[in-house]
Amino acid sequence: MESTDSVNVYTNLTYPVKDILVEVGDHVNEGDVLCVLDSEDLQQQITQKQLSLATASANNQQQIETNQKKYDDAMETLNAGLNTELNTAQQNVNDAKRKVDQAQKDLDAAKSKLDSNLNTELISAQSAYDTASTALGRAEKALKDRRNELGSYYSDLERDYEEALKKYERAVKNDDDDVEELKADVLECKQALTDAENEADALYMKGTETLSVDQLRRNVTDAQQAYDTAKQNLDAAKKAVDDQLGTYETELTTAKDAYNNALKAQKATQTAVTHGLEDNLQAIETSKLSADDRVQREELKNLQEQLGKCTVTAPVSGTITAVYATEGASPSGVMFQIENTDALQVDVKIKEYDVNTVKPNMAAIIKADATGDDEYEGYLEKVSPTAVRTPESTDGNNTANSKDVEFDATVVVSSKETGLRIGMTARADIVTEQKENVFAVPYDAISTAADGSSVVYTVKEQEDGTTIAEAVPVTMGLETDYEVEISGDLLTEGMQIISDSKQIQPGMPVSAMPAAGVLPQDTAGSMGVGVVANG
């Protein structure tokens, strides 16, 4: 016998058992305290966790407020236009822009002055250059005209002189051995050219005011020097103007570079300020994340739940049927067993050839060794879908011994106020079919006649006082493990039936043993005689 409602009480805590408040046989209601675990260490952990949470919460809140104030102050300063870094950067941009504008103005003024011929030095130098250039041209033309008048003779001498001079200059340059000889040729040619000029001048200049070739040559030389001086002065004036314009352009470029750098610095400052604000916001968020103590609070909650579980209570109402907990020892496995002693069931086994004849809710009759012949009502609750596995079944195919295949089943006791107790040895008969007011005999009382029909043997008295076996035709009906239902026109209640008819033949002499039944009158052995009972 066992309870239909059985609960094992466990705990997943390992704290030692401090007090056990129940014992076997006690009735408990749901929620009653069964035992108390030693929770001193756990309570200390809870206290420390609570203090740690309180301290961390205060520190985190202070940090959040500090970071929030830094951000608010920075935003207020920015919105009020009082950010020193941004203001300095803007001032640098403004100053650089003014310098760019001034440099551009100076350059434009210098170019405008030049374009309007207002540069005195350049104009004077240009005028002197133009005059010197005209004078040089006239002197060269006068010399050229005079030489043309002298004819080819003079031209040949002049060409000889120039060629001799070139040869000499090449020899000097190349350090030739005939340098002195060539130098003498140059002097000779020059002297011949001079003599020719003098002779020409002496002949040409008689009675005239015309300048001599030598004078004309000196005029060209003087004009050339004046021209060179005027050109140098003009170049210097132009260079001065170019230098001045270059200075203005350089100053403008420098001012623009400074302005661009100021703009970049301003942008960098704005970025830095923005990043600073973002950093302040991030610091606030980081502080809030640091202040998130949900994990610690969950840990505290778990500890408090464990503290609550240190008081082990009954999950259901019932009777304590087992106490496994021991004071001073850590719990291991089942601590208590609570069962409903008023709700009982029997675990039975059904043989293979019966399993298909039984169904849940069939009525059952329950008996126990301890209650004698008392019978109690019940019903079949369930039958296992698989046969009982045997120890020698090492794979999933062999589910039971081939000689004794059985299926587990559960029979619930429905009778009230029984003498049954949990743990008693009990058995149950499952009522698969039921008939009333029929005849029943043991299986061995049934025999087969020559024509194959079923018969039972009764005792018939003869006229001479002897008794013989007489066959009585019967029809078999409902069967149990030990008896079979029979019916027939010749059957009467109280009729004596031979209980073991395997060696009986019709007409065989039999005799009844006193208080034991009927015996056949041969040496085959005794045969018991039963009584046809109405069952």
Q: Tell me which CATH code domain 346-430 carries.
A: 2.40.30.170
Q: What is the pLDDT of residues 242-260, one digit of tens each?
A: 777 788 889 889 999 999 9
- The architecture CATH gives domain 52-291: Orthogonal Bundle (1.10)
Helical (H) or strand (E) element with 225: helix 213-291
Distance between CA atoms of 115 and 109, rounded to whole angstroms?
Answer: 10
Question: For the chain, what are the domain ranges?
Answer: 1-36+311-342, 52-291, 346-430, 439-534
On the question of pLDDT at 427 being above 50, the answer is: yes
Reduced to 3 states (helix: H, G, I; strand: E, B; else coil), residue 412 is strand
pLDDT: which is higher, 244 or 163: 163
- Residue 518: what pLDDT? 44
What are the Cα distances from residue 139, in Å, to 156, 215, 216, 218, 226? 22, 10, 7, 9, 12
Buried b / exposed e along 250-267 (16+ C-beta atoms within 10 A): ebbeebbebbeebeebbe
Strand partners, 430: 364
On the question of pLDDT at 95 being above 90, the answer is: yes
Q: What is the pLDDT of residues 483-514, one digit of tens each?
A: 899 999 889 888 888 888 888 888 888 876 65
Q: Could you tell me the end-to-end alpha-carbon distance of the chain, in angstroms, rounded to an integer?
A: 30
Q: Among residues of the chain, what percentage have pLDDT more than 90?
A: 29
Single-letter amino acid, residue 78: L
Q: What is the pLDDT of residues 194-242, one digit of tens each?
A: 777 676 665 555 544 556 666 777 777 887 888 888 788 878 877 777 7
Sorted by sequence, the CB contacts under 8 Å of residue 153 that are 6+ apart come out as 196
- Residue 526: what pLDDT? 31
pLDDT: which is higher, 380 or 120: 380
Q: Which of 534, 349, 343, 533 is nearest to 430 (CA)?
A: 349
Tokens 């080819």: give the residue: 152
- Residue 149: what pLDDT? 63
Q: Among residues of the chain, what percentage have pLDDT more than 70?
A: 86
- Residue 5: what pLDDT? 83
- Residue 532: what pLDDT? 42
- Residue 519: what pLDDT? 39
Strand ranges in 31-183 using DSSP code E only, listed in sequence order: 33-37
Please give the average per-residue pLDDT across 104-132, as a whole number.
76
- Residue 217: what pLDDT? 73
| Chain-centroid distance, C-alpha 523 | 94
Q: What is the pLDDT of residues 140-155, one digit of tens each?
A: 777 677 666 666 666 7
Is 2.40.50.100 the CATH number for 1-36+311-342? yes
**Strand bridging mode 483-487 / 475-479:** antiparallel
Band of pLDDT at residue 530, cut at 50, 70 and 90: very low
In degrees and rounded to multiples of 5, residue 298 shows phi and psi of -65, -40
Tokens 């002195």: give the residue: 180
Single-letter amino acid, residue 401: N
Polymer length in residues for the chain: 535
In degrees and rounded to multiples of 5, residue 204 shows phi and psi of -80, -25
Band of pLDDT at residue 9, cut at 50, 70 and 90: very high
Buried b / exposed e along 19-52 (16+ C-beta atoms within 10 A): ebebeeebebeeeeebbbbebeebeeebeebeee
- Residue 153: what pLDDT? 63
Please give the average per-residue pLDDT across 48-69, as a whole number.
89
Q: Which two tokens stand for residue 316?
A: 């259901």
What are the Cα distances from residue 208, in Å, to 205, 211, 215? 5, 9, 14
Distance between CA atoms of 461 and 511, rounded to whole angstroms?
Answer: 10
DSSP character at residue 208 = -
In degrees and rounded to multiples of 5, residue 39 shows phi and psi of -110, 20
- Residue 212: what pLDDT? 64
Distance between CA atoms of 212 and 142, rounded to whole angstroms?
Answer: 10
Sorted by sequence, the CB contacts under 8 Å of residue 463 that are 6+ apart come out as none
As a whole number, the mean pLDDT across the chain is 83
Band of pLDDT at residue 336, cut at 50, 70 and 90: very high
| 25-34, 50-59, 218-227, 319-328: least confident range | 218-227
